[in-house]
Amino acid sequence: MKHPLIGIFDSGVGGLTVLAEAARFLPAARYLYFADSGFAPYGEKSRSEILERCFKIADKMAQRNVDAIVVACNTATSSAIVEMRQRYSFPIIGMEPALKPAAENAHDGTILVLGTAFTIREPKYQELLQRFQRQREIISLPCPGLVNLIEAGGKDLPEMNARLKQILGDLPASNISAIVLGCTHFVFLKNNLRTIFKTNIEFFDGNLGTARQLVRMLAERGHVCPEASPEANTPRIKPQIEIDTSGERHHVLFLCETLLSELMNNQIKPFMPMNND
């Protein structure tokens, strides 16, 4: 059984959180990651602009004969997943805010959903919201500016907490029991949010479900063992990752290496530039 080649892309570095989760299940796979930082954030773009970017990135990955592509972005999934599945013959795995697991598993209290303005106003999310707001109090909050700060490498700077406090405003922190991180970039902000809320907050994101779906789709095509799981992957194999970006190359690659090392406890090989020939 060959090791699959998996393409993953996002509007920037946020999709690294998905890559790290996928690599926990499939460390022997080869990964192509594209950070579309030059066009971030997608949440401020039109649907047609996002669709154009998704096709351009996925076409390049298709030329490398990938076995699957993960659209590691809630906004891009909302905008382009249907068209991408019509365009390509290999599996296309998307994301959605983890509202269902939050509503079913979080402790009593209000669920706060943080997302881009685009994701929150999309019909797909509104349908998801209507399914669960009858049983739980849910607050959906667009978060402009956060993606740009993370892309600039500012997740640990005072400006990030100041921006978060501005967005959160007068929300009653004591009533919030769970936060749904509806943008892959926001997974990097768990510590910031813990500092602000000062309560025992549960976090939910779509990364685990996406990784499991990737395994299922690859297993159906005989590319991986259907029993692939993080527990089965010891001693740990360091995944092979190629990476490229539409942003300022030195900055983005350095940021990717820093963030992935944090996410994966340094269990990565040195990056290789993506072959775009």
Give average pLDDT by consecutive 10-residue segment, the chain, 277 residues: 90 97 93 96 92 98 97 95 98 95 89 94 92 91 95 93 93 86 97 88 95 95 75 65 94 94 72 51
Q: Is the peptide bond before 41 cis (omega within 30 degrees of 0)?
A: yes
Of 54, 73, 143, 256, which one is the catalytic site residue?
A: 73
Of 54, 143, 183, 256, which one is the catalytic site residue?
A: 183
Residue 256 annotated among the catalytic residues of the structure: no
What are the tokens at 186? 């926001």
- Residue 172: the pLDDT is 75
Residues near 86 by Cβ (< 8 Å), separated by ≥ 6? none
Decide which of 1.10.510.10, 3.40.50.1860, 1.10.3430.10, 3.40.250.10 is the CATH code for 5-94+207-273: 3.40.50.1860
The residue type of 123 is P
- Residue 276: the pLDDT is 45
In the three-class reduction of DSSP (H, G, I as helix; E, B as strand; rest coil), residue 233 is classed as coil
Report domain extents, the chain: 5-94+207-273, 99-204
CATH architecture of the domain covering 99-204: 3-Layer(aba) Sandwich (3.40)
Task: Provide the CA 33 distance to its chain's centre, in angstroms.
Answer: 12
What are the tokens at 175? 């009533």
Could you tell me if residue 234 is left (phi over 0), alpha (psi between -120 and 50 degrees) or otherwise beta? beta
Residue 183 annotated among the catalytic residues of the structure: yes
Residue indicated by tokens 């992935």: 260
